[in-house]
Structure 1
């Protein structure tokens, strides 16, 4: 099947998943471009060459990079100062490609070979122990980034989304099981009360919780 315009645009993005374009990830930005909802010059990691590539694909004018989204720069990687790291895991949660390794109250470290330099871990760190190091001095945009790195970043990001989706489904199943148990034994689990309609009120609350749990278990399409 021929790739959609959004697929083709997504393939031209560096997949840093940095959100500087104003969208939650590279795919969402690609979809917005394909639908004519945004400009092609909002990706600082892709830089000027990235804009030129998108212009050639879409037939739009190659506008200057939108500096409200940031400026073009070299590829950087996050580095954690382990002497200051408190093991809070907030950076682990913030990383879109799961390149930070560490457990609660243990020192964290960065897998530099898969870090996209997205910078999302910086504001997440409560003790400012993360810094960025330039790994492509003198090279910026697509001169500092390869198609192989972009493909790797996309794969890691999609894998992360899938794992989180699966975890959410398991949690929803557990909540649904508890809600069904309460619903089936509602009379026994309700304390004697003189408040009119208390059992029916609880029944409505539990049924609403069941509906939410069922919705969360529905398969989500990863774009």
Structure 2
């Protein structure tokens, strides 16, 4: 029986959840355990069904209608003039392919977008559209982005914190006083040691 890694290596890594699993890896694990069928990946379509069926040693069957029609490669695009900066799409993207800040326009990193469509439902102003793409992104790169995002979420990091300026520790007046005091101390030390003041 093939391993989850062997099966996962064949999947397109869109992380679209249309198979009924939360990501491509859990679907691969379920296939390896014999808990599901290899005809539940719309982005992979008939070609993937044939490859998975061959690997698993089972007959190929048409795409399960429960998961919808085959999905051609696509990418998300944000109509930036309509974006209100709610950040809901950033939170929904499984591969962190959307950039933006609260109350600021967002944009999609097209080379990283898997076309999963998970950003569409949470958008309150429907400013995201899916457009045809020439091909799906390289699966290994998409898998790596997904795993980095999962690790970041497990650590509890919020990418929006990196977008905020660091708080100013002291007022400008306090900072000036500290700089003058440090300069005076350097001058006293230099005079005491017989050298020129720095």
TM-score of the alignment, normalized to the shorter chain, above 0.5: yes
Correspondence for 2:128: 130
- Cα deviations across residues 137-165 of structure 1 (Å, max 9, x unaligned)? xxxxxxx446xx10010000000000111
Distance in structure 2 (CA, Å) of the matches to 1:154 and 1:67:
26
Matching of residue 151 in structure 1 with residue 140 in structure 2: yes
Q: Quote the residue 2:7 is aligned against.
A: 9
Q: 1 CA distance for matches of 2:4 and 2:147?
A: 16
Q: Which runs of 5+ in 1 are unaligned?
A: 137-143, 169-223
Aligned residues: 157
In structure 1, the partner of 2:52 is 54
Query: Where do 5+ consecutive residues of structure 2 fail to align?
Result: 158-198
1:70 positional shift: 1.7
- 1:76 to 2:86 alignment: no
Superposition TM-score, scaled by structure 2 size: 0.76
Q: Let me know the Cα RMSD of the aligned residues.
A: 1.5
Task: Say which SS state the counterpart of residue 114 (structure 1) adopts.
Answer: coil
Higher helix share: 1
The equivalent position to 2:155 in structure 1, one of 141, 166, 175, is 166
Runs of 4+ residues deviating >6 angstroms? none
Take 1:96 and 1:73, find their aligned partners in 2: how far apart are those partners? 18
TM-score (norm 1): 0.68
Query: Radius of gyration: which is bigger?
Result: 2
